[in-house]
Chains A and B, each alone.
Chain A
Amino acid sequence: MASVNVFKPKARLSNSNILFLIAAVIFVVMYLFAIISFPNSFLQFQTFFDLFNLNAPLIIMTLGLCIVMIGGGIDISIGAVCGLVTMACAVFLESKMGSVWGAVLVALGIGIAFGILQGYLIAYLEIQPFIITLSGLFLAQGLLTTLHKDPINVTMPAFVGLRDFDIVIAWLGTKNRLGVFIPSEIKLGTVIVVVLLVILASLMKWSRFGRNVYAVGGNSHSAMMLGINVKRTIFITYVVSGLTAGIAGFVYIMTTGAGNVGNAAGAEMKAIASAIIGGTLLNGGVGNLLGAPIGTLTLLVINELIRAAGVQSNFQAMVSGLLLYFFIVLQSVIMSLRDRRRFSIALPPWLRLSGKEQTGDQREP
């Protein structure tokens, strides 16, 4: 060992950071490619901002989901909860006692309620998160249709004002064909995305809670032995994810202005895809919240590219699927290369085959 003492190992990039970097590089490359192929749309600042303006709810959901996934769990109820919130807000705003602040409270309340319920069942009663949040998905969907079946257009003046509110960036814009300068516009949702991103990313990096989430996701038994309250930590991750789903619901209706049964349907799948593309591993312990918007944007840019190329929309779904395969395999390859392990797809415990089949695992010599 004496010889080893002299040698101080160099700190290499952590897995979280390397996966994030890869995601970032891929996004930049993709965006450059988009600019080169379709300069008149992608070279406009507004196109970039619109990615945020129109997809803020998805990014917000992905943020919460990333936290749950880093803790080793999964939450597939977020899309349905988000949809439920839009409808609940719409019904509330159109009722006699409707008010914007009230709607905000409704949104946060529904989100947190789902978070607490699911978090309790998963953390304290130790039921599989996949099953619990699948039930949550059905519950939220059921509540949504019970609440109201037909689309509601919110007409309340205060809310319409909020919906149409734009922040104009006067110094950043593009000239249109007639040579008139059109400044860029940012929606409130984009501002909320940025604020939440800063808050949650800092939480994960600099708070005790955030580091505990990483520890629990890395190895929950060790985390317990290290003196971490594992159950409480897991519980809070689901509450946060419920909360972000609630916020996403409010931002959703703030963008579209209408409650609709189909709102945010299937968004949880897009969020999971975004999280993975953004470098959050399905099996927990690894991920970077800054990757959440990057993952979402990568997914969106690809879809935009396909659309701009005039390809049918069913190809968009197919390409998203292939992209996901690519990322999961890429991540697994990187992780196995770094650990000098034989290649094996990293899977979370709730996705692993039970009992005997697991022994086919390559790690088993």
Chain B
Amino acid sequence: MLSETILEMKDISKSFPGVKALDSVDFKLRKGEIHALMGENGAGKSTLIKVITGVYEKDAGLITLQGEPIHFKAPEEAQNKGIGTVYQEIMLCPNLTVAENMFIGRSHSPVVNWKQMNEKAGQLLDSLGIPASPVQELTSCSLAVQQMIAIARAVDMECKILILDEPTSSLDEDEVHKLFKLMRELKARGVGIIFITHFLEQVFEISDRITVLRNGKLVGEYETTSLSQIELISKMLGNVLEDITKIKKHEPIVSDTSIPVFEGIGLSSAAGVRPFNFVVQRGEVNGFAGLLGSGRSESARAIFAADKVTGGEVRMKGKRVKIKTPLQAMKQGIGYLPEDRKGDGIVDDLSVRDNIILTLQVLKGFFKPFSLKQAQTFAEEYIKKLNIKTPSPNTPIKSLSGGNQQKVILARWLLTNPEFLILDEPTRGIDVGTKVEIQKLVIKLANQGMSLTFISSEIDEMIRTCSRLIVMKDREIVGELKGTELTETDVMNVIAQGGKNICTN
């Protein structure tokens, strides 16, 4: 294959107040290649692509598209030049229909032809196997479907370059394969693809070349085949990652017969989970496994009353309690890190510090605010503990990289020190190094007596941390795995067969 360069970036620099996000970075994309952009949280990956598409203006450097210097001032200009982009945070309008979200801002005709647009959208959705109807409002689609729609939008068949910033973070395996199939087709057509992800296996499966960034600086460009996973990690982190297999799994402190910390009987919610029973022992790490849409998150939300609770009763340490709102749940010592950090978690304009102390403040009551010094101490403690990359605790959270925002939300819950903490996809969008840190933290917290429920799309991660896995399918619990049964194949089998009586005990 001829490797003609379509996009070349030279000496790109970009600073934000207090951070040098990009420091004379070079990047080269060739025709028909899939080029992975790798680096820790806050390394500058998203910034690099936003500089290409004109969301940010670069401070210095030169970008050429097929030999011609370009300088986009707004995303629409990049789009017009054939650069399709899927940003890390899903950038779609919730109140428009699926079809509109796919075509708005792209057509130049002053009149909207609904029929033609819906037909085109329908074909595209079908060809990508996206389970959505063109005339549906976007809000009624799940996060994963929205992500696929954002991809479908970017994949104009005429595009020259496709940029995908962590498109797979909320997709499950089937959808990832669909996406990869599509990427290969585009590649064969000569489209250059920039692919950002924190899933190393995906990088090795699909990419031809890898460019690694660290702290805004270029580490190097490599042929994927010339690099091993360990080498890639050490290039990203700048040091060698300690072996993850060393994480010591932890067994509950107390026996099954003692009074459980949390006991839910026949819980159900307006989000449509079937009534389920769920018991958590002190110091236990358990998990909900299942495919996207299996009801993992919905069950967690039902426990925390994040969706309207429609039935069931709850006992905390044997005592019956009423939990109808998240605040009541919090007061009972339950914490919940939501899956959708953009919708449920961060308060955009508040500082990192205020975002961290937020929940604790709510629990304490607004009329008794923390002193600035106290808040500062809390914030600094967790910024250090979770290795949050921020210029200062005062920085607004919206200017942090995606992964670092996720860490801030995690810090918020850890600070409240709940008795029972539910973590829904806590490692989404988090780099390999920090992922291991978080897994270690989970075990440590459990050793100190906290009970945790862990929800993740990555089964190996759950197997590494959980002593018990509850498997869900179609919004129902279909099995439970413990001890030696906890292997990836076993879990996959239960999910696939949805067999009630396979492994329940």
B105 & A358 in contact (Cβ 8 Å cutoff): no
Whether A224 sits at the interface, judged by CB under 8 Å, is: yes
In the complex, chain B residues 119-155 whose Cβ is within 8 Å of any chain A Cβ:
129, 131-133, 135-137, 139-141, 144, 153
Q: Which A residues are in CB contact (< 8 Å) with B80? A: 227
Check A1/B96 contact, CB under 8 A, given A7-B131, A211-B104, A221-B91: no
Chain B residues within an 8 Å CB radius of A14: 95, 97, 137
- Chain A residues whose CB sits within 8 angstroms of the CB of B336 once the complex forms: 365
Interface residues in B242-294 by Cβ distance below 8 A to A read: 270-271, 291-293
Task: State which size class the interface on B falls in.
Answer: 35 or more
Q: Cβ of A177 < 8 Å from any Cβ of B?
A: no
B92 contacts across to A, CB distance below 8 A: 219, 222, 226
B413 to chain A, nearest CB (A): 10
Whether B292 pairs with A9 at a CB distance below 8 angstroms is: no
Q: Once the chains bind, are A222 and B308 in contact (CB under 8 Å)?
A: no
Specify which chain A residues have a CB less than 8 angstroms from the CB of B96 in the assembled complex.
Answer: 211, 214-215, 218
Known: A12-B136, A226-B91. A208 touches B112 (CB 8 A): yes
A214 and B92 CA atoms in complex are apart in Å by 12
Query: How many positions in chain A have a CB within 8 Å of any CB in the partner chain?
Result: 52
The answer to whether the Cβ of A342 comes within 8 Å of any Cβ in the partner chain is: yes
Cβ–Cβ contact A219 & B129, under 8 A: no
CB within 8 A of A214: which of B87, B95, B291, B292?
Answer: B95
Judged by a CB distance under 8 angstroms, whether A207 is at the interface is yes
A356 to B351, CA, bound (A): 11
B79 at the binding interface (Cβ < 8 Å): yes
Q: Is residue A314 within 8 Å, beta carbon to beta carbon, of the partner chain? A: no
Q: What's the least CB distance linking B424 to chain A, in Å? A: 11
User: Does chain B have a CB within 8 A of A126?
Assistant: no
Contact A225 B75 (CB under 8 A): yes
Q: Which residues of A contact B175 (CB under 8 A)?
A: 1
Does B313 lie at the interface of the complex (its beta carbon under 8 Å from any beta carbon of A)? no
Known contacts A224-B74, A226-B92; is-contact A11 B304 (Cβ 8 Å): no
Given A11-B133, A357-B366, also A342-B106 (CB < 8 A) = no
B95 touches A1 (CB 8 A): no
A contact residues around B136 at 8 Å (CB): 9, 11-12
Query: Which residues of A in the span 336-365 have a Cβ within 8 Å of any Cβ on B?
Result: 339-342, 355-360, 362-365
Question: Which of B24-32, B181-189, B198-206, B342-350 contacts its partner?
Answer: B342-350
Q: Is there contact, CB below 8 Å, between A225 and B55?
A: yes
A-B contact list, 11 entries, CB within 8 Å: A7-B131, A12-B140, A211-B112, A215-B100, A225-B75, A226-B92, A226-B101, A285-B94, A339-B139, A341-B307, A356-B366
- Other contacts beyond A11-B133, A208-B112, A218-B95: 9, CB < 8 A: A5-B131, A8-B131, A227-B80, A227-B104, A227-B105, A285-B93, A340-B270, A365-B304, A365-B344
